[in-house]
Amino acid sequence: MAHRLLLVEDDATLLDVLHVAFSRRGWEVHSAKSGDEALALFPQAAPDVVLTDKNLPGGSIVAAQAGVELVRAIRARDRDVGIVLMTAYGTAESARDTLNLGIDEYLEKPFGNLFEVVIRMELLADRVAARRHAPAAAQKDAQVVLIAANATRGKTIARLLAPSGCTVVFVEKPDEINASAKNVRADVVLLDGASYPEEITCLVTELKVRARSAFTMVLSQNLSLADVKRLIELEVRALIDVPIEREGCGEQLRAALHRLSLLR
Residue boundaries of the structural domains of the chain = 4-133, 144-261
Q: What is the pLDDT of residues 50-107, one digit of tens each?
A: 999 988 875 544 555 788 889 999 998 998 999 999 988 788 888 888 889 889 999 9
Q: Does domain 144-261 have CATH number 3.40.50.2300?
A: yes
To the nearest whole number, what is the mean pLDDT of the chain? 89
CB 29 within 8 A of CB 23: yes
Q: Residue 141 above 90 pLDDT?
A: no
Asked if 48 contacts 27 with a C-beta cutoff of 8 angstroms, the reply is no
Domain range 4-133, CATH class: alpha beta
Q: Give the closest residue to 97 by CA, choosing from 141, 67, 131, 60.
A: 67
pLDDT value for 159: 94
pTM for the whole thing? 0.83
> Among 162, 161, 186, which residue's Cα sits nearest to residue 253?
161
Whether 4-133 and 144-261 share one fold: the answer is yes
Cβ count near 210 (within 10 Å) = 13
